Amino acid sequence: MSQIHDRFQTTIAGSLPKPAWLAEPNKLWPAWRASGAELERAKRDATLLWLKEQEDVGIDIVTEGEQSRQHFVHGFLEFVDGIDFSRKVKMGIRNNRYDAMVPVVGGPLRLKGRVHEVEARLARGHTGRKLKITLPGPMTIVDTIADEFYRDKVKLALAFAELLNQEARALEKDGVDVIQFDEPAFNVYLDDVKRWGIDALHRAIEGLKCTTCVHICYGYGIQANIDWKRTLGGEWRQYAEIFPALAKSRIKQVSLECIHSKVPIELLKLLKGKDVLVGVIDVATDRIESAEEVSDVIEKALQYVPAKHLFPCTNCGMAPMDREVALKKLRALAAGAALARKKLGNRGQSPISAKSRRKKTRR
């Protein structure tokens, strides 16, 4: 088993591909291969498999790979009372980037019970590494569901935030070290983030002592997102609108898209004081990054993020990818971070000062 590193600790956005015996491969909404007890066993096996793979390649902060949920938003919604799943309506989501058939909120929202208890406890019992569990963020949930009850986006978001908080507190008791909220909608509704998005996140993390994180990306590597990215121009400046507000928030970590994106790297300086999970692995291509490429992105980010706050990560979840490709990309992530540690010495200096230090101490 590989050692745990004290800097440039690697982690992933959250999801990993499901093995073909668990669910249809290469799909964002895969059908399960089994049902009942057999499905529960298959989810358990896949969770353990990915924990082992992450540890063996050298990922420092591991996840359960979202092996027990069909989709990152609906995996939570299934456990919420007040939503009518028998009635789905067509809705343009992420500001009409794509249409989805979404269920309808028809009454007061309430959790039916625990959402991720089984997989969180399973993972906790089988790894000594730091464990991260992801939940969908309130704004992203609100953008993925129709509402005929609250009839007010902010009220609906706060109602979901309350439920997310219940589950997050329970996950903390299960021994989870990092709870991450996935908010791809933050990159779309920039004014709403400042008006109520961060307030809703604060409601979701209320009372938590564990590390909290928000993941804000430009979406999975699916065609609708690739097409949308083409419309965003030569420089993506969405983060510039929301990072200053996030820097003032009580969220400890921000996970963002970096490699192969058109995000100007200097925007990272707007997250002063936060841990920054820098995307050094592209999930929109099957091409495997070299260790040098990964290390180069880490070096560039290091100009704006102190080493102790820099966590190499994937741009987004890897759920819809090929399993072998995802595993190779995990290896590239670990290898790139290892190369950066080697190149930059042990004290987090810039490459130049590390180099001159080596010269000085050479005997």
Applying CB under 5 A, the residues found at the interface with Zn ion are 217, 316
Q: Please report, for residues 37, 74, 99, 134, 172, the alpha-carbon distance to residue 77 in angstroms, rounded to integers and kept in the order given.
A: 21, 5, 18, 14, 20
What is the smallest separation between the CB atom of 161 and Zn ion, expressed in angstroms? 19
Closest by CA position to 218, among listed 136, 73, 316: 316
Residue 51 identity:
L
| Pick 198 or 217: Cβ nearer Zn ion | 217
Query: How far, in Å, CA of 249 to CA of 189, rounded?
Result: 17
> ∠ at Cα 158 (152, 161), nearest 5°?
140
For 178, the 3-state DSSP assignment is strand
| Pick 215 or 323: Cβ nearer Zn ion | 215
Ramachandran class of 240: left when φ > 0, alpha when ψ lies in -120 to 50, beta otherwise: alpha
Query: How far, in Å, CA of 178 to CA of 253, rounded?
Result: 9
Inter-residue contact 317 to 295 (CB < 8 Å): no
What is the smallest separation between the CB atom of 218 and Zn ion, expressed in angstroms? 8
Query: How far, in Å, CA of 157 to CA of 71, rounded?
Result: 19
Distance of CA 126 to the CA centre of its chain: 21
What is the smallest separation between the CB atom of 72 and Zn ion, expressed in angstroms? 8
Closest by CA position to 163, among listed 113, 120, 231: 113
Widest CA span in the chain: 74
Q: 80-93 and 98-111: which strand pairing?
A: antiparallel
